[in-house]
């Protein structure tokens, strides 16, 4: 863990930082479009089924949008704590007006807002769990399984760190081949950029413990349903009985 202070909360409530994040949205959405569609397809619902799902750390609602597009009768509750991200999301989700609502929820705490029902049909998360301390990750998995209806699924799309230096080097080699300027950017970070990188990755951990925490929380069917280098979709369901 880096020695610099944890400023993640401040980052997501900073107009400047959110503007910078939004400026790279097009490239990010291009790269993440397939896993988000797959996450939606992994939910065990029929095309016409009516169900309610919660999107934790929803940001601008990209993951929710994938689910809402796949299931025209679904309704989404998007939980986030950044006013700027929720404002951007309200614009991005305009095609789904009337089928979603935002609620304020800081995932770093365990105080679920009353606007989230006690029981929901599914829970998803996308690119947010890696921002949480390990103990909070474990707690959150337990809270999620307690909110799911019997047989309800939780799926998480997130980055992970490599389990050992050999794998890390291989992941980096392939990622650098895909992005020819990545190595130069990495080697020439300013002090401020390095601190920002350390802050972003400070709680990122390997995949294996997260999968084990899901099982310990009581999920069944736990698996890694998709993986490409450092990005994964993992999840499981609350037992049906």
The percent of residues in the chain predicted with pLDDT above 70, rounded, is 89
State the pLDDT at residue 9: 62
Residues 61-73: what's their mean pLDDT? 97
Domain residues for 110? 8-161+203-237
Domain contains 3 = no
Domain contains 145 = yes
Q: Is the pLDDT of residue 117 over 90?
A: yes
Residues 19-38: what's their mean pLDDT? 80
Domain contains 94 = yes
State the pLDDT at residue 15: 64
Q: Average per-residue pLDDT in the chain?
A: 91
CA–CA separation, 15 and 11 (whole Å): 9
| Model confidence band, residue 10 (pLDDT cutoffs 50, 70, 90) | low
State the pLDDT at residue 193: 81
Return the number of other C-beta atoms located less than 10 Å from residue 193's C-beta: 12
Domain contains 115 = yes
The residues, any chain, with a CB within 8 Å of residue 230's CB and separated by 6 or more, are: 159, 160, 161, 162, 171, 175
**Of the listed ranges 47-56, 81-90, 97-106, the one predicted with least confidence:** 81-90
Kindly state the DSSP code that residue 56 receives in the 8-state scheme.
E
pLDDT, tens only, 124-157:
999 999 999 999 999 999 999 999 999 999 999 9
Higher pLDDT: 222 or 183? It is: 222
Which tokens go with 153? 């699924």
Residues 175-199: what's their mean pLDDT? 88
| Model confidence band, residue 12 (pLDDT cutoffs 50, 70, 90) | low
Q: Is the pLDDT of residue 1 over 60?
A: no
Domain contains 182 = no
Domain contains 33 = yes
What percent of the chain is helix, strand and coil (3-state, nearest 5)? 45, 20, 30
Domain contains 179 = no
Domain contains 166 = no
State the pLDDT at residue 4: 63
Residues 59-85: what's their mean pLDDT? 95
State the pLDDT at residue 2: 58
Specify the CATH number for the domain of residue 144: 3.40.50.150
- Angle between helices 134-147 and 207-217 in degrees, nearest 10: 40
The total of structural domains in the chain comes to 1
């Amino acid at each position: 863990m880096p020695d610099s202070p944890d400023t993640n909360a401040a980052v997501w409530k900073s107009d400047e930082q959110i503007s910078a994040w939004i400026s790279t949205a097009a490239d990010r959405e291009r790269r993440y479009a397939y896993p988000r569609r797959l996450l939606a397809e992994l939910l065990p619902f029929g095309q016409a089924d009516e169900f309610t799902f919660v999107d934790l750390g929803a940001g601008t609602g990209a993951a929710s949008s994938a689910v809402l597009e796949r299931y025209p009768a679904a309704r989404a509750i998007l939980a986030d704590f950044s006013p700027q991200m929720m404002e951007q999301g309200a614009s991005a989700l305009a095609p789904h007006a009337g089928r979603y609502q935002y609620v304020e929820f800081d995932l770093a705490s365990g105080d679920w807002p009353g606007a989230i029902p006690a029981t929901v049909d599914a829970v998803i998360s996308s690119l947010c769990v890696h921002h949480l301390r390990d103990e909070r990750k474990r707690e959150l998995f337990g809270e999620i399984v307690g909110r799911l209806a019997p047989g309800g699924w939780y799926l998480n799309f997130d980055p992970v760190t490599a389990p050992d230096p050999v794998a890390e080097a291989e992941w980096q080699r392939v990622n650098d081949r895909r992005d020819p300027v990545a190595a130069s950017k990495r080697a020439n970070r300013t002090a401020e950029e390095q601190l920002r990188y350390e802050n972003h990755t400070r709680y990122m951990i390997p995949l294996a413990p997260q999968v084990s925490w899901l099982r310990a929380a009581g999920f069944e069917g736990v698996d890694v349903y998709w993986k490409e280098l450092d990005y994964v979709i993992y999840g499981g369901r609350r037992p049906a009985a």
